[in-house]
Amino acid sequence: MASAADLVLGRNAPKDDLYGRVYRSLDHKVLKERANEIRAIGGKIKAFADAVISLQQDRHDADYSPLYRVSKADALTKVTLARSAIVSFRDASEEDQRTCIVRLLFKPRT
């Protein structure tokens, strides 16, 4: 979530407690819900969100399912997916990146 910290604090912000607080602010409990929401942005952000949803499910399965197994080839595929997600995010427009980060970090109020 370096992009979130950079957005909130600026790209040249010191890597201090405030930076760490923003960097770690994404609540993984709502990640899938928020990622589904950012899919609507479309384009590169949709590809990013799709990867986030898939990888978060894999992480959940690895952490909580005693039956979950992954081969070396599958692990490498997941690493490739994660890297392509980062590229998709970075290739998105600055406006789409900003919209994505805000929707990931801040829940809507009704």
| 14 pLDDT above the threshold of 70 | yes
pTM given for the model: 0.80
Element (H, E) at 36: helix 31-38
| 1 pLDDT above the threshold of 70 | no
| 47 pLDDT above the threshold of 90 | yes
The whole-number pLDDT of residue 81 equals 97
Token pair of 98 as six digits: 């900003």
Reported confidence tier of residue 13, pLDDT bands at 50, 70, 90? confident
Query: Mean pLDDT across the stretch 82-94?
Result: 95
Burial class (CB in 10 A: 0-12, 13-18, 19+), 9: middle
